[in-house]
Amino acid sequence: MMIFKKSKFSIDGLIDNSKFNYCKNLKWFLIAPLVIIFVGIILLCTVGFNLGIDFTGGSIITIYANEQGIIKTENAPVYDISKDGDYNAMKDRINKVFAEFEGVSVDIFRTSSMDVAEVGSGKAMQIQYKNKSDDEIESTNKAIREALQKEFGYVDGYEAAVSAPETVTATASSELLMNAFIAMIVAIAFILIYVALRFELTSGLAAILALFHDLMIMASLVLIFRIQINSSFVAALVTILGYSINNTIVIFDRIRENIKGGTFAKANNAQIANASVKETMTRSFFTTLTTIITIALVAIIGVSDIREFALPILFGIGAGFYSSVFITPGLWAIAYKPKKKKAAKA
């Protein structure tokens, strides 16, 4: 009688038994990020970022729907903007209205109004546009609103289906950009200080290089997919700074413990780094996976303004996992060698 022994499969066991060398293959891991960053630099030099009015300045007009998301017009059929067909039909009509205004570039979004008390469900269509000349903003905005009101009439039950234009000046845009840059520099400086104090300077420098990798990959993918840059993108950048460093710190913490332990007393840097990555891989993988699933659902289900925040976050999370697992340990292994040799001589 044959007795079959039941085999147990687990991700932990698969990772522990793997002979893959993360540090040895560092040069291969750098190819894909360098290609993406190179493409991003080319696009930056040729077409530039798709800047929203938060950075370029411009105006915003909202066309409100009723509580069911319906726009009932006097001069056209009923539109349900929750349906793609009706939404696209509305966009076409709005674009025809703006075609009469020379030099006005327009972007149209399906969004949620902040003034829920006024528009019931808060469903709305938001129109963002940049005027040709700052001197003509007031007169142009008035003419645009009148043209939209003439085209669509009024929503049943609401006096102002077409909102009064809200203007974002170029001065406010430059201040936002400067504040965002300062926030990034301060965040990176504090992260470097924190990692250097908790571990050592080599780990801090490796972590900062990984953060620059994450941010550059994130920015390059935003350029490639032509995602609009606005204040939500700034929030996404700061979020990724905090999230990306988390996986890296977990690996550095395990590296520190393995250096102190007797098991790796005679091991070289690459062996310590490889073992540390394998020991933390399950935690890093599932943490990243659950976060990506959550953010992906937000990007798929959410309205356009939320999607513009969610997509850069997805890019940053993926880049953060890649750098913390495949790049940072190799950088640490290379940079930490001189310090280890000095310690051995002492």
Q: What is the tens place of the pLDDT at every residue in 279-325?
A: 898 888 999 999 999 998 888 876 666 777 888 999 999 999 999 99
Amino acid symbol at 84: D
Listed residues 168, 187, 208: the one ending a domain: 168
Task: Give pTM, 2 decimals.
Answer: 0.76
Give the CA distances from residue 168 to residues 130, 145, 190, in Å, rounded to whole numbers and listed in that order.
9, 16, 32
Which among 88, 136, 130 has a CA at the least distance from the CA of 109?
A: 88
Same domain, 160 and 294: no
Across the beta sheet with 166-168, what order do the strands follow?
105-112, 123-130, 58-64, 166-168
| pLDDT given for residue 1 in this prediction | 41
| pLDDT given for residue 56 in this prediction | 77
Same domain, 117 and 257: no
Same domain, 312 and 265: yes
Which among 327, 311, 293, 291 has a CA at the least distance from the CA of 211?
A: 327
Top mean-pLDDT range of 127-136, 172-181, 207-216, 265-274: 207-216
Same domain, 89 and 216: no
- Rg of the chain taking only CA atoms, in angstroms: 26
Same domain, 338 and 214: yes
Residue range of the domain that includes 287? 19-50+171-345
Provide CB contacts within 8 A for 183, sequence distance 6+.
234, 238
**226 belongs to a structural domain:** yes
Listed residues 126, 143, 168: the one ending a domain: 168
Q: State the average pLDDT over residues 90-116.
A: 74
Q: Which two tokens stand for residue 70?
A: 């319906």
Range of lowest pLDDT (60-69, 105-114, 315-324)? 105-114
Question: Considering its fold, how many domains does the chain have in total?
Answer: 2
